[in-house]
Structure 1
Amino acid sequence: MTFVAPHQKARALKPGSRRPAKELCSECGLCDTHYIHYVKEACAFLNQQIAALEATFHGRSRDLDNENELYFGVHQQMIAARKKEPIEGAQWTGIVSAIACTMLTQGKVEGVVCVQNTKEDRFQPMPILATTPEEILAARVNKPTLSPNLSILEQIEKSGMKRVLAIGVGCQIQALRTVEKKLGLEKLYVLGTPCVDNVTREGLQKFLDTTSRSPETVVHYEFMQDFQVHFKHEDGSVEKVPFFGLKTNQLKDVFAPSCLSCFDYVNSLADLVVGYMGAPFGWQWLVVRNDTGQEMLDLVWEQLETQAVMSKGDRHQAVQQSIPAYDKGVTLPMWAAKLMGVVIEKIGPKGLEYARFSIDSHFTRNYLYLKRNYPKKLESQVPEYAQKIVNQYKLPE
């Protein structure tokens, strides 16, 4: 195993180098390597190029007249799945870990880029180039903080490996795809996870302190399809906090500016994406984008229980109402938030419609953020598909 030192928010670069994206830097790690020479082309916040890269790696760009592709990107199929025998300690049932371990043990790859945490802090990301299943399993559970996954690129180069699996989020994957041919690999597999609203470690602590009943015992958390944040604690208990009860007025500043400027929630350039937001509660949502993604899924197919994706409800009214509420930092009393959560869970969007609700809510928010804070970047940073999604709604000035 090789690893990089724990990431700090303003980790120093090599002498004379800098972060060209400035405050919009997502700290993906590219600029911590000699691949910084390609940053102006590769960085998702300096050169948004999803459509062109989709065509390169998936054979075509998304069809903007097909609602599923408009929202979820180029894909061959979408399914809901869960492992028949869940991996102990995994955040969900362990599909990502299972794919990575199987690819390694079957010799499909020689190493896996994934993210463990430091011994001192379960939320402090530590990217590694894993070479054993044990090292992969030690990386299970999401780290909701900015992580320099691509800082491992020089180690891949020095290792002499020719077949590698990289696990990452959208901004990391766009940069990786741009420099992929320069890595000297015979084959790169890309397993993506959807990503939204990452924070610095300090921002995460503020969120935990503001929202959870016991911040120090939180093992992991997720914003779930039942419109509640689920916090899992060390004793195995699950704490649920309604979305509408979050102290938005105190939390609006914790999200990284890069995340507030991002329109690649669904990780458009990965071969295979594993998340949860388009699946029923308790299941995971799998998006196969190309033949390489299907090859990865086939390796664990017999380990999975599957069902077709579904879509129910109408998101539009809920999204439109959420825009000014977030914009003004509205926070409901907890009793009202719980009541609203119960009502929306019963009659609100589910399955793919919930996923569209989440995308709409974040894209409209991010569009407003860019318009107000980086108006000169609005045209270049907002992809055509995102603009079409945002145009469905009336936004405040």
Structure 2
Amino acid sequence: MTLAQPPHKKAKALRPGARRPAKELCSECGLCDTYYIHYVKEACAFINQQFPELETQTHGRSRDLEQENDWYFGVHQDMMTARKTQPVEGAQWTGIVSSIAIEMLNRGLVEGVICVQNTQEDRFQPKPVLATTPEEILAAKVNKPTLSPNLSVLELVEQSNMKRLLVIGVGCQIQALRAVEHRLGLEKLYVLGMPCVDNVDRAGLQKFLDTTSRSPETVVYYEFMQDFRVHFKHEDGSTETVPFFGLKTNQLKDVFAPSCMSCFDYVNGLADLVVGYMGAPFGWQWIVVRNDRGQEMLDLVQDQIETQPVMSQGDRKPAVQQSIPAYDKGVTLPMWAAKLMGVFIERIGPKGLEYARFSIDSHFTRNYLFVKRNYPEKLAAHVPEFAKRIVRQYKLPD
């Protein structure tokens, strides 16, 4: 099936540093850096929220609001946990995302891959690229925990006359992409997504590192993990862990981008295939197959991975309810108390899919309050129905 349409309308891209149409809610997805800015008012997730329409366009149906799993994990036909039997050297996890992208390129399923490398000067500064070789894909391994204008390279796709494309990205980028995909002149588009929450700009990232890590200048990457600790990987190969409850919330409360504080697409509901960690046991990756294109992508690496079924254990709701006022008031525990609480919750707390629900609930309640307090006029239209149902399970402050 072709996605191509007649030549699209174009507009002049915004100059660097110019104020974006979404204003302070701009997630810097990169669309406004191209002539596709002509479509930004219909495409931007923070101007025009349109989950049901885009889910139906992408997957053939929208979420079933009678099914709680759909509230949380979106349209899907399969879920599992996995890891590569031979990990990719230097990958943040075992390299499933990089391996899928390389297989798609090597087998001719796509002609290019939109992914994110880093600049030569700064390992945390994102550099979106249109990769056409396995080496360029491997140079993009490891997450970049900052706002990244992935879609800024869309013009290169049209200029190169590519007809088959893989895009790797996070929710806000993929929402905009889905809104303009029929304008791209492609014959086939594949989307490999990652769950995403709480991004920052480069200055915000530095503040997080400086207030949290023992050695900010040597951090290679980090992740908020299922054991309720932030794991920092350092240049010497060592791992530093800091309990969630020991984070300096009073200093970091306002560091996250307003777009991330207004986002309800944690699980990247419009991707074909999603690879993350949040619904998996420690050391494994959580994989969500949303449609047949996603299954086609996963099939390419079936002989490279071991899999196991998803599991769910514990009760998230008491922990979520307690976390709402704690975050709201910027509560920070002494480190000894934070470590003790971390050990206790790790032993008896939510695991597997219940941990994923815990994380989604915690962020959706926080984000709902943020929109309600700062953008009350947007609340009804901006918060999707599935998120409202999740939030209604809890008692929120005014």
Does TM, normalized by the shorter one, top 0.5? Answer: yes
Does residue 231 of the first structure (1) align with residue 232 of the second (2)? yes
Deviations 1:133-182 (A, max 9, x none): 00000000000000000000101010111001000000000000000010
Letter in 1 for 2:154: L
Cα deviation, residue 13, structure 1 = 2.0
Equivalent position of 2:244 in the other structure: 243
Letter in 1 for 2:354: E
Equivalent position of 2:277 in the other structure: 276
Letter in 1 for 2:272: D
Superposed, 1:73-88 pairs within 5 Å as: 73-88=74-89
In structure 1, C-alpha distance between the alignment counterparts of 2:167 and 2:25, rounded to whole Å: 23
Equivalent position of 1:25 in the other structure: 26
Equivalent position of 1:340 in the other structure: 341
In structure 1, C-alpha distance between the alignment counterparts of 2:378 and 2:168, rounded to whole Å: 28
The worse-fitting range, judged by mean Cα deviation, of 204-213 and 56-65 is: 56-65
In structure 2, C-alpha distance between the alignment counterparts of 1:253 and 1:396, rounded to whole Å: 18
Secondary structure (helix, strand or coil) at the match of 1:165 reads strand
Q: TM-score, normalised by structure 2?
A: 0.96
Secondary structure (helix, strand or coil) at the match of 1:395 reads coil
Equivalent position of 1:48 in the other structure: 49
Secondary structure (helix, strand or coil) at the match of 2:300 reads helix
Cα deviation, residue 100, structure 1 = 0.3
In structure 1, C-alpha distance between the alignment counterparts of 2:92 and 2:81, rounded to whole Å: 16
In structure 2, C-alpha distance between the alignment counterparts of 1:257 and 1:182, rounded to whole Å: 29
In structure 2, C-alpha distance between the alignment counterparts of 1:364 and 1:18, rounded to whole Å: 29
Secondary structure (helix, strand or coil) at the match of 2:301 reads helix
In structure 2, C-alpha distance between the alignment counterparts of 1:58 and 1:161, rounded to whole Å: 23
Cα deviation, residue 67, structure 1 = 1.6
Does residue 100 of the first structure (1) align with residue 101 of the second (2)? yes
Deviations 1:339-385 (A, max 9, x none): 00000000000000000000000000000000111110111110000
| Alpha-carbon contact 1:226-1:281 (below 8 Å) kept | yes
Letter in 2 for 1:235: D
| Alpha-carbon contact 1:113-1:128 (below 8 Å) kept | yes
Letter in 1 for 2:216: P
Letter in 2 for 1:114: C
| Alpha-carbon contact 1:18-1:31 (below 8 Å) kept | no
Runs of 5+ unmatched residues, structure 2:
1-12
In structure 1, C-alpha distance between the alignment counterparts of 2:148 and 2:221, rounded to whole Å: 16
Equivalent position of 2:174 in the other structure: 173
Equivalent position of 1:4 in the other structure: none
Does residue 70 of the first structure (1) align with residue 106 of the second (2)? no
Does residue 90 of the first structure (1) align with residue 91 of the second (2)? yes
In structure 1, C-alpha distance between the alignment counterparts of 2:27 and 2:299, rounded to whole Å: 32
Cα deviation, residue 19, structure 1 = 1.2
Letter in 1 for 2:359: S
Secondary structure (helix, strand or coil) at the match of 1:230 reads strand
In structure 1, C-alpha distance between the alignment counterparts of 2:114 and 2:275, rounded to whole Å: 16
Letter in 2 for 1:327: D
In structure 1, C-alpha distance between the alignment counterparts of 2:321 and 2:342, rounded to whole Å: 17
Cα deviation, residue 253, structure 1 = 1.1
In structure 1, C-alpha distance between the alignment counterparts of 2:251 and 2:185, rounded to whole Å: 46
In structure 1, C-alpha distance between the alignment counterparts of 2:28 and 2:20, rounded to whole Å: 9
Equivalent position of 1:319 in the other structure: 320
Letter in 1 for 2:83: R
Deviations 1:302-333 (A, max 9, x none): 10100000000000000000000000000000
Deviations 1:237-266 (A, max 9, x none): 000000000000000111000000000000
Superposed, 1:248-397 pairs within 5 Å as: 248-397=249-398
Equivalent position of 1:3 in the other structure: none
Letter in 1 for 2:283: G
Equivalent position of 2:8 in the other structure: none
Superposed, 1:94-243 pairs within 5 Å as: 94-243=95-244
In structure 1, C-alpha distance between the alignment counterparts of 2:278 and 2:302, rounded to whole Å: 20
| Alpha-carbon contact 1:82-1:306 (below 8 Å) kept | yes
The count of corresponding residues between Structure 1 and Structure 2 is: 386
In structure 2, C-alpha distance between the alignment counterparts of 1:203 and 1:362, rounded to whole Å: 18
Deviations 1:284-318 (A, max 9, x none): 00000000000000011110100000000000000
How big is the alpha-carbon RMSD for the aligned residues of Structure 1 and Structure 2?
1.1
Deviations 1:89-147 (A, max 9, x none): 00000000000000000111000000000010000000000000000000000000000
Letter in 2 for 1:153: L
Percent of pairs identical after alignment?
Answer: 81
Cα deviation, residue 14, structure 1 = 3.9
